[in-house]
Amino acid sequence: MKKGKLIVLTVAIIVIFFVMLHSNPTSALRTKVFFMGYPKVAFTSEIVEYEFVNLHAKGSKGYLFTEPPMEKATQGYLDTYQVKKFGIFYFAEFIKDV
């Protein structure tokens, strides 16, 4: 019985963290950048809404980091992201500046 309670508690904690990290666009964006390997930028950089010319997906918006992380391999800045809404959750992905 103790093992069952531990499993239920663990699953509940994981679900709560997932909901918290994907409940609004900025937290979804910070989560994405954190798991890409840039935790300092995820916590310290400011995020502004950005108007993309070719952003036609319904339920999505563009966002821009004011102090973006630099990718080591290409020396390019990872500054522009698209955040899409699926149901009540938001998911971010990096896109090139269009």
Tokens, residue 65? 């980091």
The whole-number pLDDT of residue 53 equals 62
pLDDT tens for the chain, residues 1 to 98: 788 899 999 999 999 999 999 999 999 999 999 998 889 988 898 889 877 666 666 667 888 888 888 888 888 888 888 888 888 999 998 887 65
The whole-number pLDDT of residue 75 equals 83
The whole-number pLDDT of residue 70 equals 86
What pTM does this model have?
0.79
Return the domain boundaries, the chain.
Answer: 2-94
Q: What is the dihedral of CA 51, 53, 57, 59, to 10 degrees?
A: 20
What span, in angstroms and rounded, lies between the C-alpha atoms of 47 and 63? Answer: 7
